[in-house]
Chains A and B, each alone.
Chain A
Amino acid sequence: MKRICLTVVGLYFLFLHAFSQVETKDTSTFKPRKLTFDEANLVSSYYTQNGDHSAIQGGIGSEKVTDLANGLDLKWVAWDAKQRKNSLTAGMGVDHHTAASQAWISKTGASRRTDGLRLYPSLDWTRENEQKGSSIGAGLYYSNEFNYKSVGLNAGVTQKTKNNGEFGLKASAYFDQVTLILPSEFEPAGAYRIGNNGEERHPNYGSSPRQTYTASFSFSQVINSRLQGSLLLDLVEQHGYLGLPFHRVYFTDGTDSIEKLPANRFKLPIGLRLNYFFGDNVILRGYYRYYLDNWGLRSHTASLEASVKLTPFFSVTPFYRYYTQTAADYFAAYEQHLKTDGYYSSNYALAAFNSSYFGAGIRLAPPKGIFDSHLKMLELRYGHYTQSTDLVSDVISLNLQFK
C-alpha cells in the first residue's frame, strides 16, 4: 500500500513538473520580415598632397590638392518567406577638393575655379540563402562633379563550396560623360568672355562618352584554423575619351597640345590576400597585386598589416605598402614628346615610379558599444605616402559604425 501511494505521489509530481514548463519564445534567432534598420557606417577622410608635376601644365607645376571625402552607408535587412536574408544599403558620398593646378586651365593661371564638389549616391541589394550557401546582388551608382558625370550598374553572385571556400562573380559597367573643358588657349574664339561683373563666361561645354566594363572573379578559402586567403582577378575594358581634356602636353619644340590617349584600354589586375592569426593577439594581413594593361603599364603592389590586439576589443594596426610601376607607352615628361607621336601624355600617374605608404590605425569595438551607446565600432587610421616623383601626401580617415 505504501509503495502504491509513493508511486502515485511520484507520478503526481512528475505531471506537475510537465505542466509547470512554460513555453518561452527564443528571441535569439528572431528574423524580421519587414525591412529593419541594421547598421550605419560613416567614413570620413582628409587628404592633402603636394608635388611638382601637374598634368594641367604638361608635367610641371604644383600638384597641391586637399580633399575632404565623406560617405554614409545605411543598411536595412529583412528575411523573406523562404528564410533568405535580404539586405538593402543606401549610400551617399560627398567630396570637396581644392587643386592649385586648376587655376592653370587658363594659360595665365587666372582660372577662378580651383575647387570642386562631387556627389555620389548608391543603392545596393543582396539576397543570401544560408541553406544553399549562395547569394545574389545588384547595385546602382551615380556620380556628379563639374567636369564629370557617371552612371554605374553592377550585379553579382557568390557560392560557398563544401570545403570552406567561396566563389564570387561580379559584373559592373560605368557609363560616363567627360565634360570638354579645354585649356584656355585651345578654346574656340569667342568662347572665353568676361561678363559684366568680371566673371568668366563660357557657353555650355560639350562632352564625350567613356564606358568601363568589368568582370570580377574571386575565390576565398580557409586553409587551416589560423590561415585563410583569397584570389581576386578583374577583367576591365574601357572605351571612349580616356584622358582629360584640360591636360596639356609640351613637345620638344616648345609648342603645346591637349593630351591624346587611345580610345580603348584593357586592364588585368590579379590580387592575392592572406590573413594569418599569429599567436593569440596578432593578425597579419598580407596583400599582393600584379597589374598589366595594353598601354604598356606593369605594376606590383605589396602590403602588410599587423593588427595587435591589446585587449579583445582594442587593436593597433601598423601597416606598410610598397608599389612600383613601369611607364605607360604614351607617357613622356615635359617637352619630351615628339610632334610625330601618335599618342602623348605627361600625366605622371602613367610615369615610371616607386611609392611607399605607411602608417597606423586604431580600432575600438567593445561588445556593448562605446560608452554603452549605439556607436559599436570606431576606427581611426593615418597614412603617409611618398612617390619617387617627389609627390607626397597624407591622409587621415575615420570610420564610425552605429547599430
Chain B
Amino acid sequence: MKKKNVGFAGRAVVATGMAVAVTLLFAACSPVKEYQKNRLNDSEMSLSNRKVEKNELNFQSYREGSSGANGGKTGGGCGCN
C-alpha cells in the first residue's frame, strides 16, 4: 500500500528547527573551569561511539532502513543500503 510523501519537507523543517533550538539551549550553559573537568575527561564520557561498536553499527544499518547521525555509515561504501 502506498502513501504519498506529503509533509516530508514540513517534517524536515520541523526536525531541523528542533535541532537548532537544542543547539541554542546547549550554548546557554554555565561555564565549567578546567579544574572541574575531571569527570568530564573520563574516557567513557567521550561523546563519540566506542571503537568496539564499529561493526555493530554496520550490522544495524544492513538490517534497518535508517542510518546516520551516530558517527557511522550514512550510505554508500557497501552493497547494503
In the complex, chain A residues 216-263 whose Cβ is within 8 Å of any chain B Cβ = 216, 219-226, 228-234, 236, 238, 244
Report the count of interface residues on B (CB-CB < 8 A): 57
Residues of A whose CB lies within 8 Å of any CB of B are 41, 43, 45, 47, 49, 67, 69, 71, 118, 120, 141, 143, 145, 147-148, 150, 152, 161, 163-165, 172, 174, 176, 178, 210-212, 214, 216, 219-226, 228-234, 236, 238, 244, 265, 267-273, 275, 277, 283, 285, 287, 289-299, 301, 307, 315, 317, 323, 325, 328-330, 332, 341, 349-350, 355, 357, 361, 363, 365, 379-381, 383, 385, 387, 391, 393, 395, 397-399, 401
State whether A143 touches B40 (Cβ < 8 A): no
Q: How far is the CB of B18 from chain A (nearest CB, A)?
A: 7
Q: How far is the CA of A27 from the CA of B42 in the complex (A)?
A: 24
State whether A224 touches B74 (Cβ < 8 A): no
State whether B26 touches A229 (Cβ < 8 A): yes
Q: How far is the CA of A101 from the CA of B58 in the complex (A)?
A: 20
Q: How far is the CB of A195 from chain B (nearest CB, A)?
A: 26
Q: How far is the CA of A385 from the CA of B56 in the complex (A)?
A: 10
Give the nearest-CB partner of B59 in chain A.
A47
State whether B56 touches A212 (Cβ < 8 A): no
Residues of B whose CB lies within 8 Å of any CB of A are 1-5, 8, 11-12, 15-16, 18-19, 22-23, 26-27, 29-32, 36-37, 39-40, 42-47, 50-56, 58-60, 62-71, 74-79, 81
State whether A387 touches B63 (Cβ < 8 A): yes
Additional 7 contacts, C-beta under 8 A, given A289-B69, A317-B44: A43-B54, A143-B77, A273-B47, A277-B42, A298-B11, A349-B81, A399-B50
Q: How far is the CB of B48 from chain A (nearest CB, A)?
A: 9
State whether A269 touches B69 (Cβ < 8 A): yes
Q: How far is the CA of A399 from the CA of B3 in the complex (A)?
A: 44
State whether B18 touches A277 (Cβ < 8 A): no
State whether A277 touches B40 (Cβ < 8 A): yes
Known: A212-B75, A275-B47. A71 touches B54 (CB 8 A): yes
Q: How far is the CB of A389 from chain B (nearest CB, A)?
A: 9
Point out the residues of chain B lying under 8 angstroms from A341, CB to CB. 2
Point out the residues of chain B lying under 8 angstroms from A380, CB to CB. 52
Q: How far is the CA of A234 from the CA of B81 in the complex (A)?
A: 16
State whether B16 touches A233 (Cβ < 8 A): yes
Give the nearest-CB partner of B61 in chain A.
A349
State whether B26 touches A219 (Cβ < 8 A): yes
Which among A233, A236, A298 is the interface contact of B19 at CB below 8 angstroms? A233
Give the nearest-CB partner of B9 in chain A.
A294
Q: How far is the CB of B43 from chain A (nearest CB, A)?
A: 7
Q: Which of B8, B11, B15, B39 is packed against the most chain A CB atoms within 10 Å?
A: B39
Q: 17 A–B contact pairs at CB < 8 A?
A: A43-B55, A67-B59, A178-B79, A221-B26, A225-B40, A228-B40, A229-B47, A232-B71, A267-B67, A270-B18, A270-B69, A271-B68, A289-B69, A301-B66, A349-B62, A349-B64, A397-B55
Q: How far is the CA of A285 from the CA of B49 in the complex (A)?
A: 10
Q: How far is the CB of A199 from chain B (nearest CB, A)?
A: 24
Q: How far is the CA of A287 from the CA of B69 in the complex (A)?
A: 10
State whether B76 touches A238 (Cβ < 8 A): yes
Point out the residues of chain A lying under 8 angstroms from B29, CB to CB. 163-164, 221-224
Q: How far is the CA of A216 from the CA of B67 in the complex (A)?
A: 13
Known: A291-B68, A325-B65. A270 touches B79 (CB 8 A): no
Point out the residues of chain A lying under 8 angstroms from B65, CB to CB. 293, 297, 299, 325, 328, 349-350
Q: How far is the CA of A357 from the CA of B76 in the complex (A)?
A: 24
Q: Which of A145, A268, A301, A332 is packed against the most chain B CB atoms within 10 Å?
A: A268
Known: A393-B63, A395-B55. A271 touches B69 (CB 8 A): yes
Q: How far is the CA of A398 from the CA of B51 in the complex (A)?
A: 9
Closest 7 CB pairs of A and B: A174-B76, A212-B76, A271-B69, A148-B79, A269-B69, A221-B26, A45-B55
Point out the residues of chain B lying under 8 angstroms from A219, CB to CB. 23, 26
State whether A69 touches B58 (Cβ < 8 A): yes
Known: A163-B29, A231-B23, A232-B71. A150 touches B55 (CB 8 A): no
State whether A224 touches B30 (Cβ < 8 A): yes
State whether B56 touches A220 (Cβ < 8 A): no
State whether B75 touches A164 (Cβ < 8 A): no
Known: A164-B32, A292-B15. A71 touches B55 (CB 8 A): yes
Point out the residues of chain B lying under 8 angstroms from A214, CB to CB. 68, 74-75
